[in-house]
Structure 1
Amino acid sequence: MAAPEVLDRIPLLSGVPRSVEELPGGLTNHNYKVTTPSGVYVVRVWASDGELLAIDRDAEHANSIAAARAGVGAPVHAYLPELGVLVVGFLPNCRTYTEADLRDPANLPRVARACRLLHAGPRFVRDFDMFEVQRRYLEIVRERGFRLPPRYLDFMPTVSQIRKCLAVRDEGTVPCNNDLLPGNILDDGERLWLIDYEYAGNNDPCFELGNIWSESDLPIEHLEELVTAYYGRRLRHKIARARLLGLMSKYGWTLWASIQDGANDTIDFDFWSWGMEKYERAVAEFTDPGLARLMDEAARAD
């Protein structure tokens, strides 16, 4: 459905003067900035098979409301699942983060602060566990005959070992975004906002931190600083935990890319190359002799 036709069917936006600007980015949605006399909104129109990608749109809506209540997410104005639409407020005077922003150590305490604010907010309506998501993605890839990276299955025994070692010091879950690419972090000059709650769910906070590190391919020193800023002191086992969950992030999102590559023909993007870049970094970590030491550090107290 074309954007104007969708907008005409949204009561908040129909029958009023408006200007529409398509926003860049978005690998599972088409996003539009809509300006009206009463306000400025972002209209998110679904562009992917949410069921294949483990996206629960009702949960996304509820979790977006929870994030707004936590003071870190945009306000939610409308949800029309029959149209595949979520309408949120446009956050004014914000610029979108880039990898360069995350590579600036001065910004890491700000990111940690925003994460803590979200994590202290209302619980989300579902959980997110990358170990379970990765297994579901793998089933879909194999059932549908999508491309699987070479040697992918060779690392599954190591994944089981990582999961067991992380269970030793499991401290529960908090509401996490789980997808903090730079483009999902906005800066208004005073504070950071976290947007896009498609994959949001209650999760280990170290996954959030490790995923930020992984998605922007940050130096390991930046992860150490991010984790230390989040917890308020340097904790070796938390840093190791975030590194291992960052590895699982790369390994799991690789299959997300495989599914998008095989099933999504509505977005012009090279999902396979995007996923293989993550996978190559995951392989380097799986085959690093230091992996056993990391698992040991994650399982014992400092």
Structure 2
Amino acid sequence: MTAEDRIRALPCWTGGIEIAPLPGGLSNANYVVTDAAGRHVVRFGKDYPFHHVFREREVMTARAAHAAGFAPAVRHAEPGIMVTEFLGAKTYLAEDVRANLGRVAALMRAFHREMPTHVSGAGFMFWVFHVIRDYGRTLEEGGSRKRSDLPRLLTLADELERAQKLLPIVFGHNDLLPANILDDGNRLWLIDFEYAGFNTAMFDLAGAASNAGMSDEESFAFLTAYFMKEPDEAIRRSHAAMQCASLLREAMWSMVSELYLDAPGIDYVAYTEENLARLDTALENYRTKYGMQKS
């Protein structure tokens, strides 16, 4: 059965439907479907244990995020497929995040604060340094082309973890690529909750900054907007280190994806190398400012 056949067989449509691909996913296939009730997004996705991704948890989080006012409504869900409301909103690019630092910071602060009262089931913890270590095991066992780099990368992860300032646990999105932020002209929305879970705020703050290519000045303004006061030295160092960790995790995500995913049109090898290059730049900036964190 083709993807379009599966879409047509879903019980949630009103009248006839039109189907169009929605490009952009690194690991999932998405479509826009129009029926008599309006437009909807159909998202195909399997469980990816090697990425700690489980669709039942993703659906729960998407519903919780809608209930909390952060995400479009979930219209239908069954194993491997989720149908959500299509907002018709602008998908952010990196420059949009940088141009709307205050709005993005306010969205994140509210999401972190309000989501814990809406999520249900066993609490999922996303701690990037555990993810990196587990990716290391997966890459070693899978015979990755990058196996010889793993000791250096895992040692780096330990250094970056030691630089973290203790912060309260919040509920994080944990995948703040610009494209996961939508703007309908009145407000911002979040989508794609595959990795959402309990964390400190720093990973979202760092992920948003590194993925949007924020300058040091923009990062300072972003942290000030989020915390509603100027960040101290420990927060700034923690943020710079976590930006490196975010890029390291993204590179290792891509290394694992090289082994186990085959999304049409996605060059995971090139994506790995792109993120390693960005990591090198961020790490040089971090160490120039703060030196190396000793054990």
Paired residue for 1:142, among 140, 143, 147? 140
Separation of aligned partners in 2, 1:44 and 1:173: 29
Separation of aligned partners in 1, 2:221 and 2:96: 14
Tell me the CA shift for residue 295 of structure 1: 5.4
Paired residue for 2:59, among 40, 44, 61? 61
Relative to structure 1, the CA distance from residue 160 to residue 86 in structure 2 (aligned partners, 3 Å threshold; closer, same or farther) is same
Q: Which residue of 1 aligns with 2:182?
A: 186
Matches within 5 A, 1:204-223: 204-223=200-219
Q: Which residue of 2 aligns with 1:52?
A: 50
Relative to structure 1, the CA distance from residue 248 to residue 262 in structure 2 (aligned partners, 3 Å threshold; closer, same or farther) is same
Paired residue for 1:201, among 197, 204, 220? 197
User: TM-score scaled to structure 2, two decimals?
Assistant: 0.90
8 Å contact kept, 1:66–1:121: no
Separation of aligned partners in 2, 1:129 and 1:91: 31
Q: Which residue of 2 aligns with 1:99?
A: 94
Separation of aligned partners in 2, 1:16 and 1:4: 16
Tell me the CA shift for residue 162 of structure 1: 2.8
- Structure 1, residues 187-241: CA drift from partner, whole Å, max 9, x if none? 0111110110011111111110100111222222221111111111111232322
Paired residue for 1:228, among 206, 224, 228? 224
Separation of aligned partners in 2, 1:252 and 1:56: 18
Paired residue for 1:290, among 263, 288, 294? 288
Q: Which residue of 2 aligns with 1:267?
A: 264
Is 1:111 aligned with 2:104? yes
Separation of aligned partners in 1, 2:73 and 2:59: 11
8 Å contact kept, 1:67–1:121: no
Q: Which residue of 1 aligns with 2:169?
A: 173
The AA in structure 2 aligned to 1:18 is I
Q: Which residue of 1 aligns with 2:23?
A: 24
SS at match of 1:103: helix
Provide the aligned C-alpha RMSD in A. 2.1
SS at match of 1:121: helix
Separation of aligned partners in 1, 2:284 and 2:186: 42
- Structure 1, residues 100-122: CA drift from partner, whole Å, max 9, x if none? 21232xx1001111111211223
Tell me the CA shift for residue 256 of structure 1: 0.8
Tell me the CA shift for residue 19 of structure 1: 1.2
8 Å contact kept, 2:70–2:111: yes
Number of residue equivalences? 287
User: TM-score scaled to structure 1, two decimals?
Assistant: 0.88
Separation of aligned partners in 1, 2:289 and 2:133: 21
8 Å contact kept, 1:122–1:175: yes
- Structure 1, residues 244-291: CA drift from partner, whole Å, max 9, x if none? 111111111111111212222242211121121211222344455436
8 Å contact kept, 1:102–1:108: yes
Calculate percent identity across the aligned residue pairs: 30
Separation of aligned partners in 2, 1:291 and 1:209: 19
Tell me the CA shift for residue 86 of structure 1: 1.0
The AA in structure 2 aligned to 1:257 is S
SS at match of 1:122: helix
SS at match of 1:52: helix
Separation of aligned partners in 2, 1:115 and 1:286: 25
The AA in structure 1 aligned to 2:269 is W
